[in-house]
Chain A
Amino acid sequence: GESVGLHLPTLSVQEGDNSIINCAYSNSASDYFIWYKQESGKGPQFIIDIRSNMDKRQGQRVTVLLNKTVKHLSLQIAATQPGDSAVYFCAEIHYGNNRLAFGKGNQVVVIP
C-alpha cells in the first residue's frame, strides 16, 4: 500500500535497540494523550495512553512520558522489532470537546 510516512521525520533504529519518539502538543488544557501506530494501508492503532495527571505510564515494551511544563510527550519502545516499523502519531484530547487532535507523525524504520 501507499506509504503514510512521506515527508515525515524518520528514525532509523537497529533491531534490538531502544527507540524514542518525541511529540510536542499544542493545548495545555488537554486531559488525555494517546500514542498511535499506523502501518501502511491501515488505520491508526492504539499503543498506549496517559492522563494529564500522570507523568509516566508503562505498557508491554512501551513507556510514555509526559512533561506538561514544556508540553512534550515521548514514546519509548524497548528492544525494537521489525514489526515496530511504522508511522507513530501522538494525539491529545480535551474532555470538554472529546475530539482527537493529532500531532506530526514520526516514521520508524527498524533495520534487521
Chain B
Amino acid sequence: DAGVTQSPTHLIKTRGQQVTLRCSPKSGHDTVSWYQQALGQGPQFIFQYYEEEERQRGNFPDRFSGHQFPNYSSELNVNALLLGDSALYLCASSSTEHYGYTFGSGTRLTVV
C-alpha cells in the first residue's frame, strides 16, 4: 500500500517563475494538507483541501494556490517565486473519519 507520494523530489527555479508541486494521498484518504518547512524550522500550514475545495488556509499570500482533483490528488502552485520560498514542501493526507496524518517525503524547492 503506497503512502503519500510527492513529485518532483527536488526542483530549482528562478525568482519570478512559477512552480507546481504534486501530491498523491495515501489510499483511503480524502483530505490533503500542504506544509512549508524552512531549514531548521517546524512545518507551517499552508492550506487544506477536501472535496476539491480549499477548506482552511494558513498565513500565506495569494501567490500560493492549490487544487484537488476528483481522485483526491492535489497540486500546490506558487507564483512569482521569491528567494524566501526556498523550503521543503510537505504534503500530508488524512481521512475525515480519524485524525491520523501521513506525510510524504516532500519536494525540496530552491529559488535562485
Contact of B90 with A103 in the complex, beta carbons under 8 Å: no
Contact with A along B71-109 (1 / 0, CB 8 A): 000000000000000001010100000011111111010
Give Cα distance in the complex from A32 to B98, angstroms: 11
Q: Count residues of A near B (Cβ-Cβ below 8 Å).
A: 28
Contact of B99 with A93 in the complex, beta carbons under 8 Å: yes
Query: Which of chain A's residues have a CB closer than 8 A to the CB of B88?
Result: 4
Query: Which of chain A's residues have a CB closer than 8 A to the CB of B40?
Result: 4-8, 105
Interface residues of A, dominant DSSP: loop
Interface residues of A in 1-34 (CB under 8 A from B): 2, 4-8, 32, 34
Give Cα distance in the complex from A103 to B43, angstroms: 9
Contact of A99 with B58 in the complex, beta carbons under 8 Å: yes
Which single member of B41, B44, B106 contacts A43 (CB below 8 Å)? B106
Tally of contacts, chain A with chain B, CB under 8 A: 61
B28 within 8 A of A: no
Query: Which of chain B's residues have a CB closer than 8 A to the CB of A58?
Result: none
B56 within 8 A of A: yes
B48 within 8 A of A: yes
A100 within 8 A of B: yes
Query: Which of chain B's residues have a CB closer than 8 A to the CB of A101?
Result: 45
Query: Which of chain B's residues have a CB closer than 8 A to the CB of A43?
Result: 4, 90, 92, 103-106
Interface residues of A (CB under 8 A from B): 2, 4-8, 32, 34, 36, 41-46, 49, 89, 93, 95, 97-105
